[in-house]
Copies of this chain bind each other. A is one copy, B any other.
Amino acid sequence: MSTPDPVHPTSVRLRVFSLNCWGIRYLSKHCAQRYTMIGDLLAKGQYDVVLLQEVWSEKDFDALRKKLASSLPFGHYFKSGVIGSGLAIFSKHRIQDTFRYRYSLNGYPYMLNHGDWFGGKAVGMAVLNIGNTTAHFYVTHLHAEYSREKDSYLPHRVVQAWELQHFIRYTSAEADLVVLAGDFNMHPMDLGNRLLRTYADLRDAYVETPKFDGCEDGGTMIAENPNNDMVPPEKGIRIDYILFKGSSRLELHCESMSTTKGSVSDHAFPYSDHEALTAELRLDRVSQDGVPQDGSKGMGPLARGSDRTAGKLAELVDIVTEARTEVKVGLHCAQGMCYTAARTGVMGLVLLLLELAIAAVPWLALGAPGPFPSVSFYLLGALCFLILLTTALLYLFYTMEIKSLQEAEDQMRQAVGCLQQRLRGFPLASPGPPRLGSPGKERRPGGVGPEE
């Protein structure tokens, strides 16, 4: 709870909870009962901020909101896509503002069995004032990984991670405290995860905490969980995260972290197919001289990006380059699919025209019997039409996919160029964007500032 700390009297503690609720009505096992359990847990008032994913029905959000009216009086459901983003936030502190960024890519509409496309996946942001600290909370859910060996959604997930780091980097500049929680559907060392953590300077609560109580290796999808359809490896996998960063005005420490462990006492089944995460964060305000106000040994102000060493920049270049390669693979694939759709569409059109030509023969040679039995004639016509329509829709979809992949690739190319430029100038060039009055200088063509 956001209460003063007896050991660090000027510190504030904050308990953050995150859970993928697996809330597909009528499809997820024990959905209604599990929501009751989740509501009961949250209503105890142990948490300051609760970030939920896969709340697919707004009715369930509304029910939770009603139940949590006294313990977590503020809430927001991020609406997006056909069935919603599934993202929700509850808070003890008034939500000052919310904003949502919908990812450009999120699977394919025709993959009905996976259904991610309909979810309108996004990142939701909520601005909270805690005491007089401006806190930005982000909640997200990235595209699922249905096969680790042949993951056809990898480029989409990498682009999502790219957009996510971009969104957080630019929207969090005024925040003293940044927390990102959610189901990333990525293992800790997966490309998108490294990209996100490194570029947005986010720290992993599980890695940072000195006190962890939960599943082995921090697993959040474990074999012991009976709700789990896709049985993960024996040790479980860690795909849900709470990441955070402070600012030059606020130091942040993860004091402890815990996860549920599959079963819940007094209940026949767990809260979800994922494990729930709880992180206890300690907020220390930094005085003007860069020392936390309670005099404890701090890590110094964490000016975003300004603590980047040459090594970190080089690492970032490597990661972005790797991401770019992955996006290029996706682009190649999407271009192939787009070409196939176009070719099939043309074939359908040719077939339809051919059929019409054949049909015209008996009209021209009056009275001659039709060359086709009428049933197969109409069925073939309907088929051709269906092919035309489907391929036209697919062509539209793939064209948009290509544009989004190209945009991400362009941005990555640009980023690599700028990072390399900074790296070349290291340590003379300032690693963050040069500020008015900062010593960092970069010579740019045509740019003739008064101090150059």
Contacts and interface: CB of A to CB of B under 8 A. Distances in A.
A374 B373 CA distance: 11
A33 interface: no
A3 B173 CA distance: 29
A400 B82 contact: yes
A12 interface: yes
Contacts of A381: 382
A73 B403 CA distance: 23
A88 to B, nearest CB: 12
A423 interface: no
Contact of A414 (B97, B400, B438): B97
Contacts of A362: none
Contact of A73 (B92, B170, B385, B445): B445
Interface in A316-330: none
B411 A97 contact: yes
Given A73-B445, A132-B435, A450-B12, A403 B4 contact: no
A94 interface: yes
Contacts of A82: 396, 399-400, 403
Given A80-B404, A80-B407, A378-B378, A96 B447 contact: no
B250 A407 contact: no
A134 B434 contact: yes
A134 B435 contact: yes
A444 B80 contact: no
A390 B435 CA distance: 54
Contacts of A108: none
B130 A447 contact: yes
A276 to B, nearest CB: 21
B92 A435 contact: no
A364 to B, nearest CB: 17
A447 B93 contact: yes
A104 interface: yes
Given A78-B407, A418-B97, A2 B447 contact: yes
A133 interface: yes
Contact of A444 (B94, B396, B404, B421): B94
Contact of A131 (B3, B421, B447): B447
A222 to B, nearest CB: 33
A127 interface: yes
Nearest to A406: B79
A429 to B, nearest CB: 10
Given A4-B450, A435-B132, A449-B130, A173 B176 contact: no
Contacts of A98: 410-411, 414
A285 interface: yes
Nearest to A444: B94
A406 B133 CA distance: 29
A293 to B, nearest CB: 9
Contacts of A79: 403-404, 406-407, 410
Given A4-B448, A382-B382, A449-B2, A438 B93 contact: no
A311 interface: no
A266 interface: no
A84 interface: yes
A25 interface: no
Nearest to A305: B174
A444 B48 CA distance: 13
A166 interface: yes
B170 A449 contact: no
A165 to B, nearest CB: 11
Interface in A362-382: 374-375, 378, 381-382
A99 interface: yes
A73 B396 CA distance: 33
Given A94-B421, A95-B414, A170-B170, 6 more contacts: A120-B403, A131-B447, A133-B449, A170-B171, A171-B173, A374-B378
11 contacts: A3-B448, A4-B450, A9-B450, A12-B450, A93-B447, A94-B418, A94-B445, A98-B410, A134-B433, A134-B435, A173-B174
Closest CB pairs A-B (n = 3): A131-B449, A92-B446, A173-B173
